[in-house]
Amino acid sequence: MKKTVLTLMIGFFLMGSAEANNPFFETYKNKYGAPPFDQIKNEHYMPGFTAGIKQQQAEIDAIANSKKAPTFANTIQALDFSGDLLKKVSSVFFNLYSAETNEQMAVIANDISPVLSEHNDNIYLNEKIFARIKKLYDNRAKLGLTAEQIRLLERYHRNFIRSGAALNPAQKEKLRAINKELGLAELAFGQNVLDETNSYKKVVDKESDLAGLPQSVRQAAAEAAKADKQEGKWLFTTQKASFIPVLQYSENRELRKDLLTAYSKRGDNNNSKDNKSIINKIMKLRTQRAQLLGFATSADFILDDTMAKTPKNVYNFLQSVWEPAVSKAKEEAIELQKMMDKEGKGEKIEAWDWWYYSEKLRKEKYDLDEELLKPYFKLENVRQGVFDLASKLFGLKFKKLSNMPVYHPDVEVFEVTDATNALIGILYTDYFPRAGKRGGAWMNNITDQYKKEGINHRPIICNVGNFTKPTASAPSLLNMDEVETLFHEFGHALHGLLTQCSYPTQSGTNVSRDFVEFPSQIMENWCWEPQIMKTYARHYKTGEVMPKELMAKIQLAGTFNQGFINTELLAASLLDMDYHTIKDTADFDVTAFEDASMKRIGLIPQIIPRYRSTYFNHIFSGGGYSAGYYSYTWAAVLDADAFDAFKQSGDIYNPKLATSLRKNVLERGDSEDPMKLYRKFRGANPKPDALLKKRGLK
C-alpha cells in the first residue's frame, strides 16, 4: 500500500479516537485564542482536516438547501463565516509547513491537497449556492447594503465565476481534475526546492580558501560545520545568510562561483528533484484552466482581478522601468570591469563577481563598508526600531509574552495594543533559517480579524525570515538587505494587525496581489531615515548610536547598485509574465524558454534573474504571485509616491498623514477598490516619477 494512501486511511481511522485529545477539537484556552503549538502533533492534522471539511460541507449544504429566499445574511455572510474548524486546522498546518516542516508533514500535505481541492470545488461549483449569489448580485442595488457588503457580494459572485460556476457539467469535471493535479504539482515544486536547498553543502577545509571573509562569517561557517559533525572545517550552504557574505567578501573566485552556481541551479540538476518537467505540467494545467474559463492565457485570467487588469498593461509598465534600469546596470558593469582590470588578471566580470566588486566599489566611492555597519544592526534592536516606529505613527504598544506556546524555540510572541490599551492583535516573530523552513521571508495569518455578534475578533500574525543567525560570540547582526526585509515584512504585519473589517474574506492582507505590497514597501522608506536609525542603530557591545558620519554615508549610497538591484528584480518579473502568457499547452524546453526570455529583454550576462525558473517559488509553488511578481515594482510606485507625501510635509512622522494611511489603507483591507483607498489617503493618483527618482534611475 502506498504511504500517502496509508496516511489518509489512518487519518480517517484516528478521527474518532483522537477527537477527545485533539487540540483542534477544543477551544484554545489562552486568552488570545492562539494555537497550543506545544500540544499539536502530526497525528492531529488529518482528523482535524477531515472533521473540518465535514463541518463546512454541512454548513454549505444548509445554505444551498435553504427554503428561505436568499439574503445577504443567510447566503453571503453565512458563506464567509463558514468553515471555522477547517480554517483553524489549515492555518496552523500551512504556517508550519512553510516554517517548520518535516517528512511526515510533507506526506500529509500531499494527501490533503487533492482533498482540499475537491472540497473547494464542491463549494464553488455548487449550482444552488451560485443561483442564490447570482440572484443577490443581480438585485444588489435594491438590497440596502453597505458599501462593504456590496463589495463582498461582488467578490463572491466574481470568485464563483472565476472558479467555474458558470461552466457546463463536463467542463466542471475537467476543471476539478485540473485543480487536483495542479495542487499536487505546486506542492512537489516547493518540496524539491527545499530539498535541493537543504542537500547542498560546500565544505572548505583550508583556511587559506577563506581569504577576505570577515571573522563573523568564518565563525558562522565553522559553527555550521561543527553542527554537521565536520569540526575544524567551514561549511556554506545555499541559504542567503550563508552564501551572500561569501559573494561580497571572498577573494576566492572559485568559491564564489561554486556557491552562486549551486544556488542558481536548484531544481535544475537533472536529478529526482529537478523541476523542469513540473514547470511544464504547471503551465500546461494553468493554461488549460484559463482557456476553460474563457481567457486566452493564464495571465489574462489572473490579471483580470487585479489593479493592472491586463498583461499588456503589466508589460508596458515593466518596460518603462526596465529600460532605465538595464541602462544603469550596463554603466555599473563597465565600472566594475574597470575595477577588475586594475588587478591585471585579464578576467571578465561574471555573475559571481558582481557582489564582490560592487562591495569594493561602494567602499571606494562612499567609504562605506557593510561589515562595519552590521554591529549596529542587532536583530532585536532593529525589531524594536520598527516597534517604535509603529508606536510613533499609529500609537501601538508591543509587550513580549513569555508564557505563550511556540512551534520552535526561535519564535517570540508579542501582544500588540493601542494607545487606549485595547488589544490590536498578537505578533509571532521567527527569524532564523533551519532545515524545516523554506527560504525567503513572509507574513502569515494564524487567525483572521473579523466582527461577529458584536465582537471584534483580533488577528494573530506571524512574521518569518531567514536572517543571519547568532554565533557563540555575537548576536544576530543584520546586513542592510536584512534590515530592509525586516521592515518590509513588518509592514505586512501592520496591514494584518490594524485591519478593522467586518468579514474575514476582506480583512487584512486579503487584497489585490498588486496592492498587497504597498503597506509593506512603504515601511522600507523609513528604515534609513536618520531620525529612525537613531532609535535602533546602536552598537551591540557599547550601545552607542551609529555615528552621524556613517548614517550620512548610507544616505549618499542610497542609489548605489540600483541598476543591478532593479534589473534582477524586473528580469524575474518579465520571466513570470512570459510563462503566464503562454497559449500553447505543448511541452517546451524550460532552459531554452528562460534563455529566450532573457535574450528578448536584453538582460546582460553579468546578471541573472532574482529567481530562475526552477526555484521560482513565488510563481510555481502556490505562493500567489503567478503573473504577479511585477507587484513588487507596481507597489513601489505607490510606496515612493506615498512616502514622498511625508517627506514633502517636512515631518516623516506626520500625524495627519499617518492617521490617513491607517484609516484609509491599513484598516480597510479589501472593503473598497484599492485605487480608491489610495486616492483617499494621497488625494490623487500615484506619480511614477517618484520611484525612478528614488532609485536613481532618472
pLDDT, tens digit, 9 for 90 and up, residues 234-257: 999 999 999 999 999 999 999 999
Over residues 315-353, the pLDDT tens digits come to 999 999 999 999 999 999 999 999 999 999 999 999 999
Q: Is residue 500 a part of any domain in this protein?
A: yes
Whether residue 105 has pLDDT greater than 70: yes
| CATH at residue 111 | 1.10.1370.40
How many distinct structural domains can be found in the chain? Answer: 4
Confidence of residue 20 (pLDDT cuts 50, 70, 90): low
Q: Is the pLDDT of residue 295 over 70?
A: yes
Q: How confident is the model at residue 19 (pLDDT cuts 50, 70, 90)?
A: low
Q: What is the mean pLDDT of residues 133-154?
A: 98
Which of 542, 558, 563 has its CA nearest to residue 697?
563
- 135 in the same domain as 40: yes
Query: Is it the case that residue 687 has pLDDT exceeding 60?
Result: yes
209 CB burial (10 A radius; 0-12, 13-18, 19+): middle
655 pLDDT exceeds 80? yes
Tell me what pLDDT residue 12 has: 44
Q: Which residues contact 110 (CB under 8 A, 6 or more apart)?
A: 4, 184, 187
Give yes or no for residue 579 having a pLDDT over 90.
Answer: yes
> At 690, is the pLDDT very low, low, confident or very high (cuts 50, 70, 90)?
confident
Buried b / exposed e over 47-71, threshold 16 CB at 10 Å, is bbbbbbbeebbebbeebbeeeeebe
- Residue 623 has a pLDDT of 66
Is 60 exceeded by the pLDDT of residue 522?
Answer: yes
Residues 443 and 543 both lie in one domain: yes
Q: With 80 as the cut, is the pLDDT of residue 145 above it? A: yes
DSSP 531-571: HHHHHH-B-TTT-PBPPHHHHHHHHHTTTTTHHHHHHHHHH
- What percentage of the chain carries pLDDT values higher than 90? 95
- Is the model's pLDDT at 10 over the cut of 50? no
Please indicate, yes or no, if residue 661 is contained in any of the structural domains.
Answer: yes
500 and 519 share a domain?
yes
SS (H, E, C) 227-287: HCCCCCCEEECCCHHHHHHHHHHCCCHHHHHHHHHHHHCCCCCCCCCCCHHHHHHHHHHHH
Q: Is the pLDDT of residue 468 over 50?
A: yes
Domain for residue 626, yes or no?
A: no
C-alpha to C-alpha distance for 589 and 575, rounded to whole angstroms = 14
> 432 to each of 377, 429, 541, how far by Cα in Å?
15, 10, 21
Is 171 part of a structural domain of the chain?
Answer: no
Q: Is the domain of 504 the same as that of 417?
A: yes
In the residue annotation, 549 being an active-site residue is answered as: no
Pair 458, 345 in one domain: no
Same domain, 522 and 646: yes
| Per-residue model confidence (pLDDT) at position 5 | 42
Closest by alpha carbon to 337, among 319, 360, 314? Answer: 360
pLDDT score, position 531: 97
d(Cα 278, Cα 281) in Å, to the nearest integer?
Answer: 5
Task: Give the integer Cα–Cα distance in Å for 630 and 316.
Answer: 11
Phi-psi region of 696 (alpha: psi -120 to 50; beta: other; left: phi over 0): left
Q: pLDDT tens-digit profile of 366-400?
A: 999 999 999 999 999 999 999 999 999 999 999 99
Residue 234: inside a domain:
yes
Query: What are 372's three cell numbers?
Result: 562595519
Average pLDDT of the segment spanning 458-472: 97
Q: Is the pLDDT of residue 135 over 50?
A: yes
CA distance 593 to 257: 24
Q: Tell me if the pTM is above 0.75.
A: yes
Question: What is the rounded average pLDDT of the residues 27-34?
Answer: 94
- Residue 693 maps to a domain: no
The whole domain housing 648 covers 375-553+632-686
Query: Percent of the chain, pLDDT > 70?
Result: 97
Alpha-carbon gap, residue 539 to 543, rounded angstroms: 5
CA distance 689 to 561: 19
Is the pLDDT confidence value at 2 over 70?
A: no
Q: How far is CA 320 from CA 603, 631, 647, in A?
A: 15, 14, 25
Give 447's DSSP letter: E
Q: Do residues 408 and 485 share a domain?
A: yes
Q: One of 489, 517, 594, 667 is an active-site residue; which one?
A: 489
State the DSSP string of 642-655. Answer: HHHHHHHHT-TT-H
**What was the pLDDT predicted at 689?**
86
Q: Residue 38 falls within a domain, yes or no?
A: yes
pLDDT band at 17 (very low <50, low <70, confident <90, very high): very low
Question: 578 and 543 in one domain?
Answer: no
Residues 121 and 24 in one domain: yes
Nearest to 386 by CA among 462, 490, 465, 476: 490
Q: Looking at residue 585, which CATH number applies to its domain?
A: 1.10.1370.10
Same domain, residue pair 431 and 282: no
- Mean pLDDT over 190-210 rounds to 97
Q: Are residues 484 and 390 in the same domain?
A: yes
Express each pLDDT in 410-442 by its tens digit: 999 999 999 999 999 999 999 999 999 999 999
Residue 167 pLDDT > 60: yes
- Supply the mean pLDDT for the chain: 95
User: In the predicted model, what is the mean pLDDT of residues 39-62?
Assistant: 98
106-110, 367-371, 455-459, range with the lowest pLDDT: 367-371
- Give the C-alpha separation, 254 to 237, whole Å: 15
Beta strand pairing status for 442-447 and 234-236? unpaired
User: What pLDDT shows up at residue 206?
Assistant: 96
Residues 608 and 641 placed together within one structural domain of the fold: no
Instruction: Give residue 101's pLDDT band: very low, low, confident or very high (50, 70, 90).
Output: very high
Measured in whole angstroms, the distance separating CA 325 from the mean position of its chain's CA atoms is: 24
